[in-house]
Amino acid sequence: MMNEAHPGYTEGITAVYPGSFDPATNGHLDIIRRGAGAFGRLIVAVGINAGKNPLFSASERVQLLSEACADLPNVAITTFDGLLVKFARQQGAKVILKGLRAVSDFEYEFQMALANRRLAPDVETMFMMTSAEHLYLSSSLVKEIARLQGDISVLVPENVEVRLKERLLVQSVAPLGKSEEPGV
Ligand code: COA
């Protein structure tokens, strides 16, 4: 579905959808699929949030996303570090796409959008409302449910479910202080 109301309006536009994606959930996939329909090219950018201690390395997160988005030809998945707006400019992206869930996201996202705009007025931040069924979802919540052996099959793509269970199993049998692979 390529912007039927305004054909061609966003077709030539590249957008960057940044996030930690540790791991990707169906909420992220919802934004990616809709973003892929709205923009000519969508770059899903796996970033590093210094305040987070990830379960999956950056390359694992890219791999999981690549598998889940294999049917979307105009979506590319990559990592980035440093400033998001600098990365967006390097990619020729005019838009940073962000998903908004509850009102609680708003203040943080508003602050980020304003700061990014100050840094790069030529890059526009655009928000997409998360679908109602994903409103409560976050990667941390998914990891917690999986750790407690709850059913995550409706919350994440199948490949993520499999890898997440494997990773948590490895962690649960690893000696204290040793994880299989440190996050990046
Ligand atoms: N569905 C489900 N969950 C969603 C979601 C959606 N549509 N959108 C966001 N989330 C969740 C994520 O899973 C994540 O959950 P978690 O906290 O449990 O891991 C949470 O919302 C926040 O996610 P995210 O959007 O990935 O934000 P982040 O704070 O981890 O930011 C970067 C990551 C890399 C995008 C950000 O730190 C960044 O831009 N860094 C670059 C440096 C820079 O330019 N800084 C800005 C200067 S103004």
- For the question of residue 28 being annotated catalytic, the response is yes
Please provide residue 74's backbone torsions phi and psi, each rounded to the nearest 5 degrees.
-100, 15
Please state the separation of Cα 18 from the chain's center in Å: 6
**Residue-level pLDDT at 179:** 47
- Distance separating alpha carbons of residues 180 and 90, to the nearest angstrom: 34
- Non-local CB neighbours of 107 within 8 Å, separated by 6+ positions: none
**pTM, full prediction:** 0.89
The string of pLDDT tens digits covering residues 27-70 is 999 999 999 999 999 999 999 878 888 999 999 999 999 999 99
14 lines ligand 1 (CB under 6 A): no
Say which DSSP state 124 is in: E
Whether 139 is catalytic is: yes
Q: Residue 184: pLDDT above 80? A: no
How many Å apart are CA 5 and CA 42, to the nearest integer?
A: 20
- Residue 4 above 60 pLDDT? no
Query: What is the per-residue pLDDT for 174?
Result: 66
* Predicted pLDDT at 104: 77
Of the residues 33, 86, 89, 101, which is catalytic? 101
For the CA of 111, the nearest atom of ligand 1? 48
Would the CB of 125 count as within 6 Å of ligand 1? Answer: no
Q: How many CB atoms lie within 10 A of CB 130?
A: 20
Q: Is 26 in the pocket of ligand 1 (CB under 6 A)?
A: no
Determine the distance separating the centroid of ligand 1 and the alpha carbon of 108, expressed in angstroms: 10
Query: Ligand 1 within 6 A of 83 CB?
Result: yes
User: In this predicted structure, what is the pLDDT of residue 29?
Assistant: 97
> Which of residues 132 and 41 earns the better pLDDT score?
41
pLDDT in tens, 115-129: 999 999 999 999 999
Q: What percent of the chain has pLDDT over 90?
A: 74
> Which phi and psi (to 5°) does residue 161 adopt?
-55, -45
38 touches 142 (CB < 8 A)? no
Nearest CA to ligand 1 atom 2: 27
Task: Give the residue whose CA is nearest to atom 11 of ligand 1.
Answer: 138
The fold of 14-172 is Rossmann fold (3.40.50)
Instruction: Given the residues 41, 98, 139, 143, select the one marked as catalytic.
Output: 139
Domain boundaries, the chain: 14-172
pLDDT attached to residue 182: 47
Q: Which helix (H) or strand (E) holds 170?
A: helix 158-173
- Per-residue pLDDT at 180 exceeds 90: no
The question of whether 131 is a catalytic residue gets the answer no
pLDDT of 2 > 70? The answer is: no
How high is the mean pLDDT of the chain? 89
Active site residue 165: no
Give mean pLDDT, residues 7-21: 84
